[in-house]
Amino acid sequence: MNSYVNIDLWLELLNSDWHDYRGSGRREDRIDDSTWLARYTAPWRGVLRGAPPSEVRAALKSLRMTIRGIVDHLAAGAVVPRLLLRELNSVMAASPVIWRIEKTLGVYELSAAPLTAELRTMTAEIASSFAETLAQGEPSRIKVCENQACLWVFYDKSKNRSRRWCEGNTGCGNLMKVRRFRARKRTL
């Protein structure tokens, strides 16, 4: 398993709590979908050997709730409670790893090899990817889509940090523009 700032790792976990952005109220917890779970946990097949799927799901949901709590505070410009940081630290501390640097085809790669093959190895890596984003990225770029039906979490990579919607002009951004346009037309 490589260790690097992998924003997609924790973002995909957070966004596994899917909401229909169009406002139907439909919601789906993708962690409960065995196909999604198998794809998401594929990099950790070796460490998850023997772990009951119910434990994997429970561990991922617990971690998602902790990270989401932190994200919601960051997005609101509020102070992150120490309790949430302690929970994140607890998950990361549960799985010690050995760090190695290797050179393959002229490129240096840093990798973390788990000391134990357990479920907590996976959750620690996911938690660490989020913590690394907080420490080495810009926490102010972690945002929640302003479409109240969506609430998707994204990392704003725009130059001026002004992104408000999860998918720019193709998803919620476009949907919200169309809704504002139609609302203006109705008032005319």
Mean of the pLDDT values across residues 124-144?
A: 91
Does pTM top 0.85 for this prediction? no
Task: Give pLDDT, residue 28.
Answer: 92
Please give the mean pLDDT across all residues of the chain: 85
Per-residue pLDDT at 34 exceeds 80: yes
Instruction: Return the sign of the alpha-carbon dihedral for residues 79, 80, 81, 86.
Output: negative
Terminal CA-CA length for the chain: 58
Q: Which of 102-111, 117-126, 132-141 has the lowest mean pLDDT?
A: 102-111
More confident residue, 147 or 170: 147
Domain 7-187, what architecture? Orthogonal Bundle (1.10)
Query: What is the pLDDT, as a whole number, of residue 178?
Result: 75
Phi and psi torsions of 153, nearest 5°: -100, 140
For the chain, give every domain's residue range: 7-187
Q: Is the pLDDT of residue 183 over 80?
A: no
Q: What pLDDT, on the 0 to 100 scale, is given for residue 10?
A: 95
| Residues 115, 95: Cα–Cα separation, whole Å | 8
Q: Give the list of residues 6+ apart from residue 116 with CB closer than 8 angstroms, or none.
A: 47, 95, 96
Question: 4-13, 80-89, 104-113, 164-173: which has the minimum mean pLDDT?
Answer: 164-173
pLDDT of 21 over the 60 cut: yes
